[in-house]
Amino acid sequence: MSQQPPIRTAGLRTQAVGHASLRRANLALVLRHLRDEGSCSRSDVADATGLHRATVSSLMAELIERGLVRELGTARAGAIGRPRRAVALDGSHVGALGMEINVDYIAVHGIDLGGRVLVERRIGFDAMGEGPDRSLVELGRVARKAIAEMRRAGAAPGGIVVAVPGLVDIGPGVVTLAPNLGWDDLPLAERLRAELGGFRAPVGVDNDANLSALAEFTSGVAAGTPDMVYLTGEVGVGGGIMVGGRLLRGADGFSGEVGHLPVNPAGRRCGCGRTGCWETKVGLAALVRAATPERAYELGAAASPDPEVRMKEISRALAAGEPRTLAAVAEVGRWLGLGGSILVNLFNPRVIVIGGYFARLAERLIPPAQAELERLVVAGPAARCRFLASNLGFGAASRGAASMVVDHIMDDPAAIGFGPATARSSVGSL
Amino acid sequence: MSQQPPIRTAGLRTQAVGHASLRRANLALVLRHLRDEGSCSRSDVADATGLHRATVSSLMAELIERGLVRELGTARAGAIGRPRRAVALDGSHVGALGMEINVDYIAVHGIDLGGRVLVERRIGFDAMGEGPDRSLVELGRVARKAIAEMRRAGAAPGGIVVAVPGLVDIGPGVVTLAPNLGWDDLPLAERLRAELGGFRAPVGVDNDANLSALAEFTSGVAAGTPDMVYLTGEVGVGGGIMVGGRLLRGADGFSGEVGHLPVNPAGRRCGCGRTGCWETKVGLAALVRAATPERAYELGAAASPDPEVRMKEISRALAAGEPRTLAAVAEVGRWLGLGGSILVNLFNPRVIVIGGYFARLAERLIPPAQAELERLVVAGPAARCRFLASNLGFGAASRGAASMVVDHIMDDPAAIGFGPATARSSVGSL
C-alpha cells in the first residue's frame, strides 16, 4: 500500500495538461471557491467559475465523496424555479498531520482542514544516539498514535509531512544530508510509509526551516506577508524563504541554505570545513564563545553542556549588564544584519522573522541587526524590510508541516486517496 | 490616453476574484490552449478546458476581435453533424516591443507574437551626458519609429517594456535609482507614455539584468531551465533570477541585487561607499586593476578610457600568456565561484549564465569559478549547478523585454487595449 506518490511540494502547476489533470485542477478550483466564498449553490459555483453546471455537479459529487464538501440542505431558494441546495467546504472530516524529528525530540501537530487542532505533542527522543532505524520505528509509532487519535476525532489525515533539520530531496522524500541527526541519503518518506502499513495518503518530507517559514506565513508574526524570510538560530543557522506566498524550492529543493554563506573569507574555520561561514558569526556557538570570558568554548563544543543552560547564563549576564556579554550580543546582531542584507539584496522580502535563540534575544539583537541591514541594503529604505521575532517557539516546523498538507489537499483534492469511509475501514490495519 | 495601467510584471494571479478577472483568466486559458495545442475547434477547446461552449464562443469572439486568434475556415468536420470551424492563435497581428536604455546606447527589439523579428536596432546615445529629459525625448523618438515600423508590418505593439540598468519600482514603472544613468525617482513609464501620445497599450519598466535573465530562459543557453540565475559583468555586476520559470521579484521588485553582496568585510572600499562588495572582486574595474602592472587604474576610473579597449588589451595579454593577467583572471574566476556559491546555497539554480565581459572571458573564468562553487556549496554535487556563458551578447535585455510583453499578453489578453483596426487608425497621432 505504499504506491502513493510522495507529496510534491513544488509550486502549483499553472497549466493544464490533458483531461485527468484538468479534472484535478477543476476540483481544486471548486474547493478553493468554497473556501473563499463560504456556502453557495452549485449554480453559483458554475456562474463564478465559468464551468458547465454538469461539470460542477460531477466535481461536487467527488468532493462530497472525499469528505471535503457537505450538503447544507435547501438554502437560498431563488424567487422562482427549483430551490437550490447549498454546499460548503467541510473541514472536519479530513485531517492534516505535521511531524518534526529533530536533534532531541519528535513533535506532532494534527489538525483538520478547518484548522482545529486535534493532536499536539512533543516527545523527547535522541535521534542521533538512536540512529536512523530506531528513529524510524519511533517516528512510525508516534505517527500511528496520532493517526488513530485523529481518526477517533473524525478527521483521518489526508497526508503527512515530516520536518527534518537537513537537506531534503523533496521529490522522492529522501533526506540527502542531516548532519545533526547523522543521516544521509535516507529514503524517509518510503520508510515511514512502510512503518505505517495500510496508510494510503501521501507522505512528504521537507526541511524544518522551510516548514517553519510556512508556519510563520500561515499563522505567525509574518502571517499573510508573501515575501518573507525565516531564520532560525541554533548551533547551526537555517533559513526558509517565501516568494510571492510560496516556498522557494530551487531545482532540487536545496534552497535557503543560509548557514554557510561565506561572509568572511579571512574568518574562522567552520564546523563544515569551510572558512568564514555566517554560522561562525551568528550561530549559538559563536555567541557563547564571544560571551564567555574564559576559553571554555571551542568550536563544536557548544552542544554540550546543554545549550539551554548556556542561554540561561547569557540571559542572566545580559540582565546584570555584563559588558562582555552585551558586546557579544551586539556583535552577533551586526552580523545578523550583514547576512540579512544579503537576503534582502537578493530576495527583497518585507520581513525577516527570527526564530530559535535569535527570538529569545530579539530585543537586543534586532536594533543592531536592523541598523546594519539598512546600512548595507543597496535599495536602502526603498526596500522596506523589518526583523521580527517569531512567537511560535518550538512547534513551528510541525505546524508548518500540517499547513503544507492542507495546501496540498486544497491544490489537489484527488491526491488524498480515500474518502472518510475507506479511512475508517482501514483503522484496523494500523 | 495614458490611463492604461503599467505592465505589472509580478507573478500570475492564481486565484480568480470576481467575474471580470475570471473572464480575463479564461481568455488567457483559451489563448494558452491554442498556443500549446495548435489549431482546433471551439468544441475541442470547450472539452479540453471544461468551459461551457457558449462561454468559449464568446471568449473566442473577443480574441478574434483583438487580433489574437483567427478562423481557419471549415476543418476537421466530424463524421456526423455540422462541420466545425477551426481557430488558431494568430501571432502576426499583435506585436511586442522591447527596449533598453543603457549607459551608451538605446536598443529596440520588436517582434510579433509568433516570434518574428520586425525591428532590431541599437543606437549610440550618451544617456548620462544628455540627462533624463533629453533621454526621454530620444527614447520616445526611437519608440515611435519602432511602433510605426511594426504597424507597417501589420503588428502594432500590444505593450512596451523598457530595460534600465538600475532599481525599478515595477508597479508604477518608476526608476528608483540608476547610478550609471544618473537617474533617481524617474517615472519612466508615465513619461514615456506622455512622449508616445496616443499609444494606448501598457508600458512597463524593468531592470536590465532581470530582462536578460528572461531572454536567457526564453531563447538563450538556459532556455527552458526554470531555476536559473543570470549574472552580467560590467563595471558593475547585475543579476536576474528565475524561480520555477518566473522572474523573482520580491516585495518591491528590488530582488537580484548581487553586485553589492558583502563578500569580504576586510576588503576594498566599493564605489557605493560600502566595503568588500562582490563588485570590488569581480567587476571589470577589479579585473583591470589586478591585470594592469602599473597603478594606472583606480576605482571608478574604469569607464574611461574605454572598457572595450581594456578588454582587448586583456584578451591580447591572455593570448600571449602574460602571467599577471592570467593570475588576475583566475582570481576573478575564484571570486565568481564564491559569489556563485551564495546564489546556489540560497536559490539552488541548475545553471548560472554569465553575460557581459564574463561571457567574453568565459573559457578562462569558468574552470576556477566552477571549482570554487563546488567547494563551497553546502549541498555539494547534489545541487548540480553549472556556469554557462551567454551567447546573446548585447541585445539580451531588449529581447527579454519583448518576451515579457508577449508573456503579459498571453497572461492577460484583455490588457492590450485595442484590436488591430483601432491600432491602425491611431497611427496618425504618433
Is the CB of B378 less than 8 angstroms away from the CB of A272? yes
Residue position matching grid coordinates 556559491 = B341
Chain B residue at shortest CA distance from A411:
B14
Pick the CATH number of B18-89 from 3.30.70.240, 3.10.129.10, 1.10.10.10, 1.50.10.10: 1.10.10.10
Residue A187, CB half-sphere, CA atoms under 13 Å: how many? 8
Is the CB of B256 less than 8 angstroms away from the CB of A26? no
DSSP 8-state secondary structure symbol assigned to residue A20: H
CA pair distance A188, A192, nearest whole angstrom: 6
Contact between residue A42 and residue A57 where contact means Cβ atoms under 8 Å apart: yes
CA pair distance A41, A58, nearest whole angstrom: 14
Chain B residue at shortest CA distance from A11:
B244
Chain A residue at shortest CA distance from B20:
A48
**Pairing outcome for strands B156-164 and B167-169:** unpaired
Contact between residue B63 and residue B125 where contact means Cβ atoms under 8 Å apart: no
CA pair distance B416, B414, nearest whole angstrom: 6
Which residues have CB under 8 Å from B56's CB, separation 6+?
B30, B42, B45, B46, B49
Interface test with A, best of B345, B372, B374 (most A CBs within 10 A): B345
Residues of B in contact with A55 (CB under 8 A): 50
Contact between residue B356 and residue B233 where contact means Cβ atoms under 8 Å apart: yes
Residues of A in contact with B49 (CB under 8 A): 16, 22
Residues of B in contact with A213 (CB under 8 A): none
- Retrieve residue B314's grid coordinates: 586583456
At what angle are helices B18-37 and A42-49 packed, to 10 degrees? 60
User: What is A224-389's CATH number?
Assistant: 3.30.420.40
Chain A residue at shortest CA distance from B253:
A348
CA pair distance A113, B210, nearest whole angstrom: 39
Is the CB of A345 less than 8 angstroms away from the CB of B261? yes
- Retrieve residue B184's grid coordinates: 533617481
Q: What is the mean pLDDT of residues A250-278?
A: 88
Q: Which helix (H) or strand (E) holds B388?
A: strand B386-389
Which residues have CB under 8 Å from A294's CB, separation 6+?
none
Is the CB of A382 less than 8 angstroms away from the CB of B259? no
Of B428, B356, B429, the closest CA to residue B394 belongs to: B356
Chain A residue at shortest CA distance from B344:
A255
Chain A residue at shortest CA distance from B272:
A378
* Structure confidence at residue A384 as a pLDDT band (50, 70, 90): confident
Averaged confidence pLDDT in chain A: 85
Residue position matching grid coordinates 454538469 = A54
Interface test with B, best of A15, A55, A257, A260 (most B CBs within 10 A): A257
Q: Got the DSSP string for B33-82? A: HHHHH-SEEHHHHHHHH-B-HHHHHHHHHHHHHTTSEEEEEE-S--SSSS
Of A235, A103, A106, the closest CA to residue A180 belongs to: A103
Which residues in chain B show pLDDT less than 50? 1-17, 76, 295-304, 418-430
pLDDT for A200 equals 86
Interface test with A, best of B243, B372, B385 (most A CBs within 10 A): B243
- Residue A354: CB atoms within 10 A of its CB come to 26
pLDDT for A270 equals 87
A250 CA: distance to closest CA in chain B (Å): 5
Contact between residue A422 and residue A198 where contact means Cβ atoms under 8 Å apart: no
Is the CB of A379 less than 8 angstroms away from the CB of B265? no
For domain B94-212+395-429, say whether CATH 1.10.490.10 is its number. no
Residues of A in contact with B260 (CB under 8 A): 345, 376, 378
Strand pairing partners for B275? Answer: B269
CA pair distance B317, B321, nearest whole angstrom: 6
A316 CA: distance to closest CA in chain B (Å): 32
Residue A301 confidence (pLDDT) above 80: no
pLDDT for B52 equals 85
Q: Got the DSSP string for A73-109? A: EE-S--SSSSPPEEEEE--SSEEEEEEEE-SSEEEEE
- Of A255, A338, A348, nearest to B262 by CB-CB distance is A338
Residue A1 confidence (pLDDT) above 50: no
CA pair distance A227, A224, nearest whole angstrom: 9
User: What is A94-212+396-429's CATH number?
Assistant: 3.30.420.40
Q: Which residue has the higher pLDDT, B5 or A231?
A: A231
A254 CA: distance to closest CA in chain B (Å): 6
B250 CA: distance to closest CA in chain A (Å): 5
Contact between residue B60 and residue B87 where contact means Cβ atoms under 8 Å apart: yes
Is the CB of B379 less than 8 angstroms away from the CB of A19? no
Q: Which residue has the higher pLDDT, A362 or A180?
A: A362
B349 CA: distance to closest CA in chain A (Å): 5
> Among residues of chain A, what percentage have pLDDT more than 90?
56
Q: Which helix (H) or strand (E) holds A19?
A: helix A18-37
* Structure confidence at residue A216 as a pLDDT band (50, 70, 90): very high
> Among residues of chain A, what percentage have pLDDT more than 70?
87
Which residues have CB under 8 Å from B274's CB, separation 6+?
A375, A376, B260, B262
Q: Length of chain B in residues, anyone?
A: 430
- For residue B318, CA distances in Å to B291, B305, B329, B354, B362 come to 10, 20, 9, 19, 12
Of A277, A278, A301, the closest CA to residue A289 belongs to: A301
pLDDT for B365 equals 97
Residues of A in contact with B57 (CB under 8 A): none
Which residues have CB under 8 Å from A371's CB, separation 6+?
A334, A337
Of B405, B350, B336, the closest CA to residue B379 belongs to: B350
Domain map (residue ranges) of chain A: 18-89, 94-212+396-429, 224-389
Answer positive or negative: Cα dihedral of B409, B412, B414, B415: negative
Residues of A in contact with B261 (CB under 8 A): 342, 345-346
DSSP 8-state secondary structure symbol assigned to residue B207: E
Is the CB of A379 less than 8 angstroms away from the CB of B22? no
- Residue B30: CB atoms within 10 A of its CB come to 27
Residues of A in contact with B347 (CB under 8 A): 248, 250, 255, 346
Residues of A in contact with B378 (CB under 8 A): 167, 254, 257, 259-260, 272
At what angle are helices A18-37 and A396-411 packed, to 10 degrees? 120
Residue B297, CB half-sphere, CA atoms under 13 Å: how many? 21
Chain A residue at shortest CA distance from B240:
A346
Residue A134 confidence (pLDDT) above 60: yes
- Of B266, B272, B382, nearest to A252 by CB-CB distance is B382
Q: What is the mean pLDDT of residues A276-299?
A: 79
A345 CA: distance to closest CA in chain B (Å): 5
The SS3 assignment for B393 reads coil
Contact between residue B404 and residue B203 where contact means Cβ atoms under 8 Å apart: no
Is the CB of A346 less than 8 angstroms away from the CB of B349? no
Residues of B in contact with A227 (CB under 8 A): 249-251
Residues of B in contact with A372 (CB under 8 A): none
Residues of B in contact with A52 (CB under 8 A): 50-52
Q: Which helix (H) or strand (E) holds A135?
A: helix A127-152
Q: Do domains B94-212+395-429 and B223-389 have the same CATH topology?
A: yes
pLDDT for A83 equals 62
Q: For B223-389, which CATH superfamily applies?
A: ATPase, nucleotide binding domain (3.30.420.40)
Phi, psi at A323, each rounded to 5° = -60, -40
Instruction: Give the pLDDT confidence of A36-69 residue by residue, as tens digits.
Output: 888 889 998 888 888 888 889 999 999 998 889 9
Is the CB of A338 less than 8 angstroms away from the CB of B265? yes
Residues of B in contact with A270 (CB under 8 A): none
Residue A144 confidence (pLDDT) above 80: yes
In the β-sheet with B167-169, what is the strand arrangement from edge to edge?
A: B167-169, B174-178, B183-186
Q: How many CB pairs under 8 A join A and B?
A: 192
pLDDT for A402 equals 97
- Residue B280: CB atoms within 10 A of its CB come to 25
Is the CB of B259 less than 8 angstroms away from the CB of A378? yes
